[in-house]
Chains A and B, each alone.
Chain A
Amino acid sequence: MPADDPIRNLALAAIDAERQIDAMMQPVAGSGLLAFSTLFRYANDPGFELSDDAARCLAKNPAAMADLERLIAQSALVHLPTLAAAASETLTRRETAEAIILMTPSRADPGQVYLSIDLMDAEAKRPTHLFAGSSGVDWHKLVLPPFAGPRTQVLLEAGHPILAALGDPRSVVYLR
């Protein structure tokens, strides 16, 4: 087969591309890099959590964090942007045209907080998980219980990191 045969060149290019994808999808031992497949799964699989090592690696890697942010933002069902509130203010309610997120302290147990999400469109697709965080900082993920009608609700310990993230006006929230 001649060296300039177009079929041969196409086959070699395909083999090369596959090797590159394989390399990109595998973590590089000791390099502090995260496999793209890990980030992809973390963003899309509600039940998948990052290992402690992967979370540390993510925190040290701005490029990976940017990749994760893009993955989270992609195809999110609801986006709640940062708010122009005083930095010291802790939010208990976030609202857009698509959804209302409410954090209500429990009367029965002051150490616990109800996080409820109401969708404005009763016919809208139901999210299965929530991400909250600030650009370039930690992202927090919460798996949501099944919706009952347009609402879902989860009871959390008051110190849960997702509550701190949701209460921070500088944070962004995505429902996926």
Chain B
Amino acid sequence: MSAPLIHILTTDGPVAIQRISEEDPAVSSVICLDGRAQALPISPAYDAFVRSPVGVIERMTGHGAYRMDVARRIDDGRSWQLAAFIAHAAALQSAPTIRHIYASGEVDSTLGVRPVGHIDTKLKALSDALSGQEGDAPDAIILVPSQDTPLPEYINGIAVRAVQTTDEALVLIGLAAPDRHIPADKPARDAYLKKITWRMPLILTVIAAIVFWFGSDLARWSALMAQGRILALEKDMAAADETAIGQMRVAVYQKWRSFSKPEAGTIDIVGSLFIADDAAGCAAAGSLQKRPLGTGFTGTEAICKVEVRAVTADTRLQIIGRLGYWPTGLGVGGKAGRVMRGSKEATGRTWTLEFENLPAQGAALRLVVIAGTNDVRGSQPWYQDLLATPEDSTAFKAAAARLEHLGYRVIARDWRRD
């Protein structure tokens, strides 16, 4: 995939970031106009945005001087910062899944995205700029700061997403959050480390006591968890559960694992339908229209493809799951027509399902996402119930509970053609 096209939203329309290049650290960072030897007046502000300790880019990239070329003049303000941050992050990683990115927002030193003015005008200017182009952009996104006033859901078919942090923005475009942040409160952290150092012998004693009490169970269960052999772990714990002391150990281990369970809202699930006027139109990939997945579809068009992404800003988490396709309704017939494992990506997983037999009325999709700090390998019998039964059914709840006891979060999403 080629590099993304990142645009700064301005009141005069989007301004493309043409390239970002490292410069000699002896010079100040500059924003130049269209490759020319013309540094824009906002260059000192860009230099401050780049260079540590105040700037955020050097903290992310480890380099302190850049040249950014833009297609048109940007005269003032700080709303270019979010797009510039994304461009720097994109330059560090493989290409994101979203190709056209339009962004406006100020980035603060904690990588929060602060509101900026004239968002309505900028979106209107973007709409005007795109009006002569194709109405739908399946691989585009508009990122703006969260704000009190309502935002449109789409501009010329491109989803508008409000973000509060740069991590959120990066996840939405399929990039990993940078991991080179130097904590702004380093002195506070140092003080904390100093504070706990003298307590270290006590902490180690408590850990040693726990390890002794658990004996081999802890080591064995931890090894199974690390290997992702969840079914084997479950069986081993079931065996230990037959004695009173074993029950206590299982309860303690499950409690310990619960601390690793991802918080609700940590996983962001976004999906799209790719539709055509009729079945023949599905063959022309370039003419497909993109629609948000939602929970149902009532249109008459042919549904050619579905793409769903589950992503997270928490780089510790593993996301797995299955996408089940039920041609005649959820659970009907006992076996899904297709089950997709999805493909792993830096920030999560993507499931892409191109229909051989286009979904007719009553067809259903069930996505089950399992997120935790460890991967899951081997046989996974719980999917049978997770993919086929209603979320409020006993079977679904029991299957989900098996995983949640081991520190995983289970999320299901349903879609149906009405």
- Please report A residues at the B interface, Cβ cutoff 8 Å: 102, 104-109, 112, 114, 116, 145-146, 148, 151, 153-157
Query: Is the Cβ of A114 less than 8 Å from the Cβ of B27?
Result: yes
On chain B, the residues within 8 Å of A107 by CB distance are 21-24
Also in contact, A155 and B37, with CB within 8 A (given A116-B27, A148-B47): yes
> Within the assembled complex, what's the spacing in Å between the Cα atoms of A112 and B23?
12
- Please report B residues at the A interface, Cβ cutoff 8 Å: 19, 21-24, 26-28, 30, 32, 35, 37-39, 41, 43-44, 47-48, 67
On chain B, the residues within 8 Å of A104 by CB distance are 24, 26-27
Query: Is the Cβ of A153 less than 8 Å from the Cβ of B41?
Result: no
What would 8 A/B residue contacts be, using CB atoms closer than 8 Å? A104-B27, A107-B21, A107-B22, A108-B22, A109-B35, A116-B28, A155-B30, A155-B32
Known A109-B21, A112-B37, A155-B37; further 12 A-B contacts with Cβ < 8 A: A102-B26, A104-B26, A104-B27, A107-B23, A108-B23, A114-B27, A114-B28, A148-B48, A155-B30, A155-B32, A155-B39, A156-B37
On chain A, the residues within 8 Å of B38 by CB distance are 155
Among A104, A108, A148, the one with the most B-chain Cβ atoms within 10 Å of its Cβ is A108
Closest residue of chain A to B23 (Cβ to Cβ) is A107
On chain A, the residues within 8 Å of B48 by CB distance are 148
- How many whole Å from A119's CB to the nearest CB in chain B? 14
Query: Is the Cβ of A108 less than 8 Å from the Cβ of B21?
Result: yes
On chain A, the residues within 8 Å of B27 by CB distance are 102, 104, 114, 116, 153
Closest residue of chain B to A105 (Cβ to Cβ) is B24
Closest residue of chain A to B43 (Cβ to Cβ) is A153
Query: Is the Cβ of A153 less than 8 Å from the Cβ of B24?
Result: no
- How many whole Å from B268's CB to the nearest CB in chain A? 35
On chain A, the residues within 8 Å of B24 by CB distance are 104-107, 114
> Within the assembled complex, what's the spacing in Å between the Cα atoms of A146 and B40?
12
Closest residue of chain B to A151 (Cβ to Cβ) is B28
On chain B, the residues within 8 Å of A153 by CB distance are 27-28, 30, 39, 43
On chain B, the residues within 8 Å of A114 by CB distance are 23-24, 27-28, 30
> Within the assembled complex, what's the spacing in Å between the Cα atoms of A151 and B44?
10
> Within the assembled complex, what's the spacing in Å between the Cα atoms of A109 and B68?
12
- How many whole Å from A99's CB to the nearest CB in chain B? 15
Closest residue of chain B to A156 (Cβ to Cβ) is B37
On chain A, the residues within 8 Å of B30 by CB distance are 114, 153, 155
Query: Is the Cβ of B67 less than 8 Å from the Cβ of A108?
Result: yes
- How many whole Å from B38's CB to the nearest CB in chain A? 7
Among B19, B24, B27, the one with the most A-chain Cβ atoms within 10 Å of its Cβ is B27
- How many whole Å from A98's CB to the nearest CB in chain B? 19
- How many whole Å from B84's CB to the nearest CB in chain A? 15
> Within the assembled complex, what's the spacing in Å between the Cα atoms of A154 and B38?
8
Q: Which 4 residue pairs of A and B lie closest in terms of their CB atoms, listed nearest first? A: A108-B21, A148-B44, A114-B27, A108-B67
On chain B, the residues within 8 Å of A116 by CB distance are 26-28
On chain B, the residues within 8 Å of A145 by CB distance are 39, 41
On chain B, the residues within 8 Å of A155 by CB distance are 30, 32, 37-39
Closest residue of chain B to A107 (Cβ to Cβ) is B23
- How many whole Å from A10's CB to the nearest CB in chain B? 54
